[in-house]
């Protein structure tokens, strides 16, 4: 899946354990409407450095996987979702050097106010449907 928007904020890398680190960032979409959306993403492990080359206010394209998990706690079962980014690309100005894929430019729709989520049958994701 992918979405474009304005990088609103990026947070420092968090070391969760000796072998795991993550970094979160917020992308603002629908910025030209009265109701902009502020969507939280995360990158993990070696992908944490992808955000180093981007600054708040830049327009970027994020390709990500939708992840969900179940947690059985004292108050019962709860469900959590994560948007895990795996490619980030600058749209305004010059192209970023982090994982840029020229072929992905053909999948974008222009002048849309809603986020664009593109997926094809050939995508290799692990969703059960």
Q: Where are the domains of the chain?
A: 2-107
* Alpha-carbon distances of 106 from 7, 44, 115, rounded to whole Å: 22, 27, 16
* Alpha-carbon distances of 18 from 14, 86, 118, rounded to whole Å: 11, 21, 35
pLDDT of residue 19: 92
Domain 2-107 is in which class?
mainly beta
| End-to-end Cα, the chain, rounded Å | 14
pLDDT of residue 32: 86
The percentage of residues in the chain with a pLDDT greater than 70, rounded to a whole number, is: 71
Q: What is the pLDDT of residues 17-74, one digit of tens each?
A: 999 999 999 999 998 899 999 999 999 999 999 999 999 999 999 999 999 999 999 9
Decide: helix, strand or coil at residue 123.
coil
pLDDT of residue 96: 41
Q: What is the pLDDT of residues 67-116, one digit of tens each?
A: 999 999 999 999 999 999 999 999 866 444 444 443 444 434 444 445 55
């Amino acid at each position: 899946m992918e979405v474009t928007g304005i990088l609103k904020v990026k947070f420092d890398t968090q070391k969760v354990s000796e072998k795991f680190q993550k970094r979160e960032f917020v992308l603002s979409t629908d910025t030209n409407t009265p109701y902009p959306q502020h969507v939280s993403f995360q990158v993990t492990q070696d992908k944490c450095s992808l955000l180093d080359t981007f600054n708040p206010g830049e327009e970027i394209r994020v390709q990500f996987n939708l992840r969900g998990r179940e947690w059985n706690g004292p108050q019962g079962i709860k469900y959590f979702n994560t948007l895990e980014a795996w490619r980030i690309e600058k749209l305004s100005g010059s192209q970023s050097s982090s994982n840029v894929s020229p072929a992905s430019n053909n999948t974008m729709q222009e002048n849309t106010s809603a986020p664009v989520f593109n997926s094809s049958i050939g995508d290799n994701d692990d969703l059960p449907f």
